[in-house]
Amino acid sequence: NAGVTQTPKFQVLKTGQSMTLQCAQDMNHNSMYWYRQDPGMGLRLIYYSASEGTTDKGEVPNGYNVSRLNKREFSLRLESAAPSQTSVYFCASILLDEQYFGPGTRLTVT
Amino acid sequence: ILNVEQSPQSLHVQEGDSTNFTCSFPSSNFYALHWYRWETAKSPEALFVMTLNGDEKKKGRISATLNTKEGYSYLYIKGSQPEDSATYLCAFISSGGSNYKLTFGKGTLLTVNP
């Protein structure tokens, strides 16, 4: 039981490049979330998925797309990275009284 | 977007002091409230899950209370230690039929000086 895994842990992109952040959980949780964390801003919700095949926008969805193809995996895609997307990204798998965060992905866009 | 407020934004205390901070949330559609402890460069660590009005939970020197009717929760730390320095986040879970949504506050940054 690995909990929530995220890849990569670090990434540097140039403006305009694209990439996908991967998140997987092996706890059979229905809900999965993507957050970004910026200094002084706390955790802000980008997208969430209440169940397999469904996704909803959170507080800051612009510039991102997500995909929940199966119960286990929830990916976050940046189609054309911008410096404003430099941040630490956390994936979370949450089932009411069970909550687990991935280790985070530190993304820098130059 | 649900409004979850935490106060104060930051707090400096001396070792041995007791302290508390607040999480305010909407009083409607309440399902649960989570408290997390978050150290720099680590993932948030769950402290408490609170679901019932009047809940009081305790873990060591840290405790929390919940008032769902007025929409607030308090987190208390007794006899603060330098290792308690962290950001403390609350997260409000709302329910709407079969859908649940989790919204974080911005956190309270606690610094405990030795």
Q: What is the pLDDT of residues B65-109, one digit of tens each?
A: 999 999 999 999 999 999 999 999 999 988 766 566 778 898 999
The answer, for B101 touching chain A at a CB cutoff of 8 Å, is yes
Say if CB B101 and CB B92 are below 8 A apart.
Answer: no
Ordered per-residue pLDDT tens for chain A, 110 residues? 568 999 999 999 999 999 999 999 998 888 899 999 887 777 888 998 988 888 988 889 999 999 998 999 999 999 999 999 999 999 998 776 667 889 899 999 99
B106 contacts on A by Cβ (under 8 Å): 41-42
Instruction: Provide the pairing of β-strand B108-113 with B10-14.
Output: parallel
How far does the CA of residue B2 sit from the closest CA of chain A (Å)? 10
Cα separation, A92 vs A108, whole angstroms: 21
How far does the CA of residue B58 sit from the closest CA of chain A (Å)? 16
Strands (E) located in chain A: 4-7, 10-13, 19-25, 31-38, 42-49, 56-57, 65-67, 75-78, 87-95, 98-101, 105-109
Q: What is the pLDDT of residues B32-57, one digit of tens each?
A: 899 999 887 788 888 998 989 999 99
Cα separation, B93 vs B31, whole angstroms: 5
The answer, for B106 touching chain A at a CB cutoff of 8 Å, is yes
pLDDT at A1: 55
State which residue of chain B sits closest to A59, comparing Cα positions: B1
Opening angle at CA B106, ends B101 and B110, nearest 5: 130
Report CA-CA distances (Å) from B16 to A24, B80, B81, B85: 41, 5, 6, 13
Closest by CA to A32, choosing from A69, A78, A82, is A69
pLDDT at B73: 97
Which amino acid, one-letter code, is at A107?
Answer: L
B51 contacts on A by Cβ (under 8 Å): 97
pLDDT at B104: 86
